[in-house]
A and B are shown apart, each in its own frame.
Chain A
Amino acid sequence: SDNEESHDEL
């Protein structure tokens, strides 16, 4: 899976 830069979900 491509890396999300930052986790935008709580």
Chain B
Amino acid sequence: MNIFRFAGDMTHLISILVLLLKIYATKSCSGISLKTQELYALVFLTRYLDLFTDFISVYNTIMKLVFIASSLAVVCCMRMHRVVRRSYDKDLDTFRHYFLILASFVLALLVNEKFTFQEIFWAFSIYLEALAILPQLVLLQRSGNVDNLTGQYVFFLGAYRAFYILNWIYRYFTEQHFSRWIACVSGLVQTVLYADFFYYYFISWKNNAKMQLPA
């Protein structure tokens, strides 16, 4: 464990807490893409298949449980909660995310570390995570204005993978046999996808203005 990875995990945790705060505090999920939340639940469920077979550390196990539980909680809340679900931007959240699932699965069958059930689903979860934010970014683009908590949610979500890139660089230079090309390349793509969002987020922060994405 290194400081970059720990910072990344904590930033990821913060992003989830900000999302839960937004939904419970405002009793609204406007501006949040249910499709992105469903993709994230799928990412965690397929990545942590080794939850009960490979024990890495208490920290690792607890964080896996937190990520799985929180992502499922958000999806259930957005689908079931009678107040929250009314504020879901159903007609704006129309990204065809099934294509992202299909593309990630096909790529995982072709590019993986080992052609085993667990490794294919691990690679699938890595590729899907890189693409999972797309419905959310499209939704924000369409809705134009980004409320503070949603903006902070997406910002922390993007920042966490940027910390992981620093973690991979650090591990590459400090560990002999470190080669996580699948995670590195996918994490790079993931962070780049946030680039334009980061740009407009920074502009709005600098001008101390409400964040506007060009329609």
User: What is A's interface to B at a CB cutoff of 8 Å?
Assistant: 1-4, 6-10
**CB within 8 Å of A: which B150-179 residues:** 164, 167, 177, 179
Q: Specify which of B63, B113, B180 is in contact with A10 (CB 8 Å cutoff).
A: B63
Residue of B nearest to A6 (CB): B54
Cα distance, A6 to B181, chains bound together (Å): 15
Tell me if B56 and A6 are in contact (CB < 8 A): yes
Interface size class, chain B: 20 to 34
Residues of A near B164 (CB, < 8 A) are 9
Residues of A near B56 (CB, < 8 A) are 6, 8
Q: Specify which of A2, A6, A9 is in contact with B177 (CB 8 Å cutoff).
A: A2
Cα distance, A10 to B60, chains bound together (Å): 7
**CB within 8 Å of A: which B1-57 residues:** 5, 9, 12, 47, 50, 54, 56
CB-based closest 8 A-B pairs: A1-B179, A6-B54, A8-B56, A3-B113, A10-B63, A2-B177, A3-B114, A1-B181
